[in-house]
Amino acid sequence: MDVSGGQSVYPLHRCKTIHLVRHAQGIHNVEGEKDHSAYLARHLFDAHLTPLGWQQVDNLRKHVQTSGISKKVELVITSPLLRCMQTAVGVFGGEDSTDGIDVPPLMVTDAGDSNRPAISSSNCPPFIAVEGCREHLGVHWCDKRRSISEYKPLFPAVDFSLIESDDDVLWEADVREKIEDVASRGIEFFKWLWTRKEKEIAIVTHSGLLTHTLAKFGDDCHPDVKSEICSRFQNCELRTMVIVDRSMVGSDSSATDYPGKNPSGEDAPSDVTCATPDGLPN
């Protein structure tokens, strides 16, 4: 009989805190809201943020600073599309870059028609771009990325080393990625997170990837909890969640557990239910 009341207990070192962020408003969102077929337009290639989108970035930045999230995040992962990288560095990056600071900026001045000053890489976590958290691939030109060699001068302090191809070999003009394949890619991305040592990670990605991936989770929860997990993200929305390693994918040992019996001594339990079937204490 389940007497847990819907609760679960897991070792802390088998959990990670992830801050999921959908990018701020892009030019494609504005046109697509009026006419969905606009997503097929070539001029929306690798869509950048709108001025309203940058206001959303500024507001989320204030939130992550006042809430203390910015001090806890150990790594920022971003989709390698312009709107996500602009959102990621704007929210989680250092203060505006100034002359005399001898470190490469996260973003140079006016990158991607931003009309924004450079953003410093000082006093902030590292940033890496990962293909696995890209938007629904194919057909929509806003979801096609530029070459990595074009991005590097715009985002000098973002790490692109995990991306194997300079050109976008994943996006196809006449083939839209199947929804189940988007979800599978997202789940593989979540599994990949367990290869990282960081315990608190911010991920800046896309509505489609988030919607289809998170829909695979929460079926064993109360419907309200399921809704908290997988309802559609708004532009520049942040949700903090915990992922749990129930299948021993990760290999990190606990940094807080303590083995006890130091010094060693007799410790037979007084409660017989604490003994193992062979009579030995747990």
Alpha helices for 93-240 (secondary structure H): 148-154, 179-193, 207-214, 223-230
Centre a 10 Å sphere on the Cβ of residue 205 and count the other Cβ atoms it contains. Answer: 27
On the 0-12 / 13-18 / 19+ scale of CB atoms within 10 A, 101 is: middle
Q: How far apart are CA 241 and CA 202, in angstroms?
A: 10
Active site residues: 23, 135
DSSP E strands, the chain:
15-22, 75-78, 127-129, 158-159, 200-205, 238-244
Question: What does each of the 282 residues of the chain score in pLDDT, given as a tens digit?
Answer: 455 567 888 888 889 999 999 999 999 999 999 999 999 999 999 999 999 999 999 999 999 999 999 999 999 999 999 999 999 999 999 975 555 667 899 999 999 999 999 999 999 999 999 999 999 999 999 999 999 999 999 999 999 999 999 999 999 999 999 999 999 999 999 999 999 999 999 999 999 999 999 999 988 888 999 999 989 999 999 999 999 987 777 667 788 888 888 788 888 787 765 555 555 555
Alpha helices for 40-170 (secondary structure H): 51-66, 69-72, 82-92, 148-154
Q: Are 134 and 155 in contact (CB under 8 A)?
A: no
Per-residue confidence (pLDDT) for residue 2, from 0 to 100: 53
> Could you tell me the pTM of the whole model?
0.90
In angstroms, what CA-CA distances link 267 with 4, 82, 259, 264? Answer: 28, 60, 13, 9
Residues 6+ apart with CB under 8 A from 275: 269, 281, 282
Q: How far apart are CA 21 and CA 204, in angstroms?
A: 5
Per-residue confidence (pLDDT) for residue 259, from 0 to 100: 84
